[in-house]
Amino acid sequence: MVKNVAFVCLSYLLIISCGEDAPPPPPAADALKPAVITEKVYDDTDDPAIWINKNNPDSSLIIGTDKHVDSGGVFVFDLRGKIIRSLSRTGMKRVNNVDIAYGLKGASGLTDIAVCTERDKNAIRVFSLPGMQEIDGGGIKVFSSSTDNLPMGVSLYTRPSDSAIFAIVGRKSGPKEGYLEQYLLKDSAGIVVGELVRSFGAFSGLKEIESIAVDNELGFVYYSDEQFGVRKYYADPAKGNAELAVFGKKEFSVDNEGISIYKFTDSTGYILVSDQGSNSFNIYPREGEQKLLARVPVSAIESDGSDVTSVSLPGFEGGLFVAMSTDGTFQYYKWSEIAKKAGLKIK
């Protein structure tokens, strides 16, 4: 398997060095097959998020973005991969990443939310779940004090001590320090607003930073500094802006991209990071030092965004992994099959 991946990656790099557009590499011969492939969006899939319906797991939702400049938006899928048109929100201006959080405090109680970036409006958007109603008054502006103000990545952090919810936002381009901004999300007379609480995060300058993932229980935020590695910081702004680690250097063929976290317990599990150039995911331990455990090939082409849950859902005992594919779809994988392939645990 390693030889096959190396050959694909070398061929990909040779095409790039010749100044040609590289065609997407095909999946490896031993790539895992998805259990479900969703209906296609209008144009260009980018990032998924999984919302668990705790009262009725069969009604859990996959929220996925289409980053087309005019016809894109946020599509909602059921567990069988069908688009739920009544919940999907289109006609947005280049939506990139999306994440979900449970229990935003408001005057009327607690509300689950989906938050996405709307790049060409320099804003993040907030929708209630499961109804997908706009609750942001048209959007929360981000990076307002900078000319580098095109948001791309977003991840939500729920602080265990007080259940406060923060949006950590990345951008298309930015400085060597302070590439990310973190906003406290609050209800204000029924509208969600954002309060900037810090700028943080180093950038290598090699390409860009898009994928961000937060581990609520352990209190860390991870982000892909593409072509450099995965950076690790504290998610709680009260703990400061010092970088804690960088991992994955020289372990990816071209770009390290989408990050997702499988939680085996509150403190153990796995971090999955897309190796976009080889149609595979590198897997690292969630606890302790992040050293490469396994590399799993998938059928998703040039996957960027992904999400994973350890909650058992109908047809996905032990958990569900979702990866975007450049053919305009999202692919659902059984965690049990990923774990078997990689020699990992199943919850």
The full set of domain ranges for the chain reads 34-342
Mean pLDDT, the chain, rounded, equals: 94
State how far the Cα of 67 lies from the Cα of 94, in Å rounded to an integer.
4
State how far the Cα of 8 lies from the Cα of 15, in Å rounded to an integer.
11
State how far the Cα of 284 lies from the Cα of 295, in Å rounded to an integer.
9
DSSP secondary structure, 214-251, as one string: EETTTTEEEEEETTTEEEEEESSGGG-S---EEE-TT-
User: Tens digits of per-residue pLDDT, 91-141?
Assistant: 999 999 999 999 999 988 999 999 999 999 999 999 999 999 999 999 999
Buried b or exposed e, range 89-117, using 16+ CB within 10 angstroms: bbebbbbbbbbbbbebebeeeebbbbbbb
CA atoms within 13 A on the CB side of 83: 18
* Angle ∠(332,337,342) on CA atoms, nearest 5: 120
User: Tens digits of per-residue pLDDT, 194-244?
Assistant: 999 999 999 999 999 999 999 999 999 999 999 999 999 999 999 999 999
pLDDT average, residue stretch 288-307? 97
Q: Which residue has the higher pLDDT, 80 or 18?
A: 80
Looking at residue 21, what is its pLDDT?
Answer: 58
Q: What percent of the chain has pLDDT over 90?
A: 89
Looking at residue 346, what is its pLDDT?
Answer: 80
State how far the Cα of 315 lies from the Cα of 4, in Å rounded to an integer.
31
pLDDT at 157 over 80: yes
Looking at residue 30, what is its pLDDT?
Answer: 94
Task: Kindly tell me the sign of the dihedral angle through the C-alpha atoms of 189, 193, 195, 198.
Answer: positive
Residue 96: name the closest of 42, 39, 135, 44 by CA: 44
Are the CB atoms for 4 and 29 separated by under 8 Å? yes
Using CA atoms in the order 144, 149, 150, 155, what is the torsion angle rounded to 10 degrees?
Answer: -60
Q: What percent of the chain has pLDDT over 70?
A: 94
What's the per-residue H, E or C state across 147-207? CCCCEEEEEEEECCCCCCEEEEEEECCCCCEEEEEEEEEEEECCEEEEEEEEEEEECCCCC
Mean pLDDT lowest among 7-16, 55-64, 141-150, 166-175 = 7-16
pTM: 0.93
Token pair recorded at residue 78: 């059921």
pLDDT at 20 over 60: no
Token pair recorded at residue 260: 């997702």
User: Tens digits of per-residue pLDDT, 272-281?
Assistant: 999 999 999 9
Which residues make Cβ contacts (< 8 Å) with residue 78, sequence separation at least 6? 59, 61, 62, 84
Looking at residue 345, what is its pLDDT?
Answer: 81
Looking at residue 24, what is its pLDDT?
Answer: 75
Which CATH number does the domain 34-342 belong to among 3.40.50.2300, 3.40.50.300, 2.60.120.260, 2.120.10.30?
2.120.10.30
Looking at residue 8, what is its pLDDT?
Answer: 45
Q: With cut-offs at 50, 70 and 90, classify the pLDDT of residue 71.
A: confident
Whose tokens are 């965004």? That residue is 305
C-alpha separations of 21 from 17, 18, 109, 208, 344 in Å: 10, 9, 51, 19, 36
CA atoms within 13 A on the CB side of 330: 32
